[in-house]
Structure 1
Amino acid sequence: MPIVMDAEALNGFLHGVFEQVADDFIVESVTEEALTVRLRVSDKHLRPGGTISGPSMFGLADVAVYLAVLSKIGPQALAVTTNAGLDFLRKPAAGVDLIATCRLLKLGKVLAVGDVLIHSEGQPEPVARANMTYSIPPRKG
């Protein structure tokens, strides 16, 4: 399926619809095969011990799949997560952003399934892996 929304359009969508988190995430690239999004890590994303919190990594994975779906279907603010799984593989590097790469494994009329690998910036080994299913609202008209 061709790209309907590129990185610029997706970043603009986040700022228009999800202003409360838009400054945390930036879509870096969108291709036919994958979407890459960055979590700008700040103190609010850290847990005791100085590592990035699980909820922050979950949020990054969730946003990555959401945006990957929108990159293919256009601005559908009401697409929602219906299932999620997250494996924490290793401790993220301190003081660097997290980068998520999402591949859509299935994009149907009502469901989309995505796979996400999360890396600490500059590190080759993933820190987490997620799989998520999204429900796509019916198209009007």
Structure 2
Amino acid sequence: MSDRKTGLKWGADEILAFLERDFPQVFRNGQSYAIERLEPKGVSVRLIAGEAQLRPGGTVSGPTMMELVDLAMYMMLLARHGDAARLCVTTNFSISFLRKPPPGDIVVDLELIKHGRALSVGDARVHAAGREMLVAHGECTYHMVSDSATQSR
């Protein structure tokens, strides 16, 4: 359902329902997410991190933070395009780990810095919930793939 005030096609509930239905592996190991902010140019997503997301030493693992950034970008495109974005794919991803996050929830604030017909780029800042100090910074590029493009292969 489109939100005329924001220009978004899907809200947080629709995005999470889509993921639960069509991409349930996102929630493996009991992972849970909350969309805390959703706007046309940005999204904030919280990972309710548990024991399965920790690495030895009691810190949230790097792959967990990478997954959160990638998922936030996917959520951003789902919000803007609805079902038309379900087949979009990551084409580039980089992340810098700045410091160890403590055990517990982590939040990514992702801003869309370029949004075109085919490519979109997001800038992501990851921090421990309730703390402002960054634990990671990432950038990812997604490519929009249409159903007709996949059917012609």
In structure 1, give the amino acid aligned to 2:56.
P
Structure 2, unaligned runs of 5 or more: 1-5, 149-153
Structure-2 residue corresponding to 1:91: 100
| Identity level (%) | 36
The one of 4, 12, 18 equivalent to 1:13 is 18
The within-5 A match list for 1:109-120 is: 109-120=117-128
User: Aligned equivalents of 1:78 and 1:30: distance in 2?
Assistant: 21
Q: Which runs of 4+ in 1 moved over 3 A?
A: none
- Contact kept in structure 2, 1:69 and 1:104, CA below 8 Å: no
Q: Distance in 1 between matches of 2:35 and 2:133?
A: 21
How much has 1:139 moved relative to structure 2?
A: 6.2
**What is the letter of the counterpart of residue 117 of structure 1?**
R
Over the aligned positions, Cα root-mean-square deviation in angstroms equals 1.5
Report the 3-state secondary structure (helix = DSSP H, G, I; strand = E; otherwise coil) of the residue aligned with 2:59.
coil
- Determine which structure has more spread, i.e. the larger CA radius of gyration: 2
2:8 is the alignment partner of 1:3: yes
Question: TM-score scaled by structure 2?
Answer: 0.85
Name the one with the larger helix percent: 2
Does residue 55 of structure 2 align to residue 24 of structure 1?
Answer: no
Report how many residues are paired.
139
The answer to whether 1:45 aligns with 2:50 is no
What are structure 1's unaligned runs of at least 5 residues?
none
